[in-house]
Each structure stands twice: as structure tokens, then as C-alpha cells.
Amino acid sequence: MPTRARRDTALRALPKEAPRSVTILGSTGSVGCNTIDLIRRQPEAFLLEALTGFDNVELLAKQAIELRPKVAVVANPDRYGALKAALSGSGIEVAAGPEAVVEAAERPADRVMASIVGAAGLRPTLAAVRRGAIVGLANKETLVCAGHLMMNEVRRHEATLLPVDSEHSAIFQVFEFERRDAVDRIILTASGGPFRKATAETMGRATPAEAVKHPNWSMGAKISIDSATMMNKGLEVIEAHHLFGLPEDRIEVLVHPESVVHSLVAYVDGSVLAQLGSPDMRTPIAYALAWPKRMAAPAERLDLVRIAALHFEAPDEIRFPALRLARAALKAGQGAPCILNAANEVAVQAFLDGRIGFLDIARVVEVCLDRVNGTAAGSLEEIHGLDRSSRSEAARQVQSRA
């Protein structure tokens, strides 16, 4: 997290009128597209260094032709020829493959928006951190899988992490880093997802189409399913532990269906500071792009008179066991959070593919946490190995339920 010296350095390094160069890792995803929407609205303020996507060559090429990055990278090497053809004559460098994505993160951009979904974002995000970049972190799995490693590298290379999840961005904006001893606890809010009041029987019959219908936010399929299971909030508890240095028992979760209060910080004197806003990912993205200043964003302005009432309730860890599993993984430490994340990614995809039921997602994760040995997770190589073994066990569990 930024120290006072780091913030002062950032202020000196970015003159008032200087455009900021930006690399977007995962530009074709939800966060990436919202980032581009903001840059498009203030083109004089930003220069694009690199754009990367997984295999949506059509959208990636369209973004590149409009914004003119120096390089465009498709992570799926089989799509290199299509991207090369789409950008022929543009003067934009084209590359493909996972290593090319890491190289894009290493390029000298002022800011890196790390928005690759899942564990695939770990290596490129770490590469950006190791060159001391200012990183907008929209990939919570990076800290879930390798939190201690990542935060050690942030400190070692004097990088800056700016959380882009709406909840962690909210906490960041009201957290007194220089007076951590004054913080009592942090409170992450959750919408409760589409099944907040659903019975177990209803959830057991849920289809992917029903599960991705988030009541407030527009997100990709994977994070929408995580919201429906509340695994998303469990992952955020782990992420918050690393970002803000608080133990698990001082990180609370509060269901808030309106998604107006994005999170809160409680202080030892009884004060509770909250960040509020309309549910629009462009708000925390804009904060990360402009920090330490602020920039205009098109989010709907909050009208508390029209909203009239805000509601809060405790999460139900019986109907939503994913939250309990995530807390248990954080307490267990070592590689348990990596196992949790890998098994969840496999199970979520299996549900989206129609191979398991909605309630099976948490069941697959729980079995993997019990069966996979997570004692070795100190290095990037060990983390990748643990991720692979966890995915293999999750695939076996999925097959046994298919």
C-alpha cells in the first residue's frame, strides 16, 4: 500500500498536464472495457502503452485501432494470426501467448490496470509490481493465491497497489494508513446476489442464466456466479487481509442489498467512515486512474432522497457456505487460499457449462480444501504447482458429480 513517501513521489512524477501512459491487462473484460470507456472520455489525459485480451480478437483489435497502443497482445496463441491480420498496416505491434502478456506488463507504463480474471492474472500483475509500477488491482485472485508473496514484492520494489474492487477502493479511501492503531475493524458490504432470499431448494435448481443476473452490478459471468454463491465476498475478505493488514476476525461482512454503501472502516473512538456511491464500476476505476487526484466519471449521481432507505443484514453462512470456507482458508494459511480459488474457478466453470448444480460449487471447494496438501506455497513456482494440483482434484470432484 502507498506510504507517504510513495505518494509524494507519485505527485512529483506526474506533472499536472502530463498524460499518463496506461497498460490494460484484460482490456476485453468487464473492468477493461469500463477502463477504456473512461479513457475514451478524456483522451488527452492518457496514452496507451499496451492492451491485452484472452481470445476476443475482434474486440481487442477494435480497441487497439481506436486507442493506438504501442502493442496489442492476445493471450491465446492460436489467435495470433487473426489479431495480426486485423491490425495489419496499423503500425501497432502484435504479440501472443502468456509470456507476451507478462512482457506487456513489464513495459514502461505509468499505470497498469490488472483486470485479467482468475489465477491467470498472477504472473503479469507480479511483473508490473516488480518494476515498481502503480497497479490498479482488479484481480482479487492475485492476492488470494499469493498474498504474502505479492505484498512482499510491493514493499521490496516500492510499487503501489490501488484496489479497484468497489469494496476495497471504498476502504482505501477512508482508511488511515499512517494511524493503523486507530482502526478497529473494516466492514465489507455485499449485495447478497440474486439468491439473497432464496431457499436451498431453489438454489439447488438454479440455472446459470438465473445465477448471473446480479441485482445491481453489471459484471462478467465468473464474478457474477461468485457473487451468487458469496464466494466473491469470501475472496474479498482474504484480499482485504493482505491489503490492509488486519486479521480475519477484524474483517466483517454485511449484506446491504442496495449496494450504495460500498464498505466501511470502524475506528476505536466509535466513528465509522463509509464511502457511498451508485453501483458503477467506473467510479473505483476512475479513482485508480487518477489517484492521487480525482477525475470526472459518468456514474449516476447518488440521490439519497430518492433511495430513501438503506438496509443491512448479517450474511447467512448456512445457505452460503462459500463465505465460511473462505474464512477457514484464510485462518489455515499457507496454500489453503490458493486451493480455495483454484477449486472455485473449476467448479464455477463446470456450473456454467451445465455439468454440476449451483450448490455443488461450494461442495467441490470444500472437498478440495480437505484433500489437497497446501503446505508448500512460498514461491511463485510452488503456487503454480498447487494451483494445478487443486484444479486436477476439482476436476475429479466435478466428474464424480456429473
Per-residue pLDDT of 328-383, as tens digits, reads 999 999 999 999 999 999 999 999 999 999 999 999 999 999 999 988 778 888 99
For the chain, domains (ranges, CATH) are: 4-164 (3.40.50.720), 166-278+302-320 (no CATH), 333-402 (1.10.1740.10)
Quote the pLDDT of residue 7. Answer: 44
Quote the pLDDT of residue 11. Answer: 40
207 dihedral zone (left: phi>0; alpha: psi -120 to 50; beta): beta
CA dihedral 233, 237, 240, 246 (to 10 degrees): 150
Contact 241, 248 (CB under 8 A): yes
User: Which of 81-85, 138-142, 320-324 is predicted with the least confidence, judged by mean pLDDT?
Assistant: 138-142
From residue 322, alpha-carbon distances to 204, 259, 273 in Å are 15, 20, 28
From residue 82, alpha-carbon distances to 58, 72, 74, 354 in Å are 9, 12, 10, 30
Q: What angle do CA 125, 276, 182 make, to 5 degrees?
A: 75
Residues forming a β-bridge with 188: 253, 263
Q: Is the dihedral of CA 86, 80, 75, 124 positive or negative?
A: negative
Amino acid identity at 102: V
Dump pLDDT digits (tens) for 276-305: 999 999 999 999 999 999 999 999 999 999
Predicted TM-score (pTM) of the model is 0.89
Residue 190 CA to residue 117 CA, distance in Å, equals 20
- CA 18 centroid distance within chain: 28
Backbone angles phi, psi at 189, to 5 degrees: -95, 150
How many helices and strands in the chain, by DSSP H and E? 18, 11
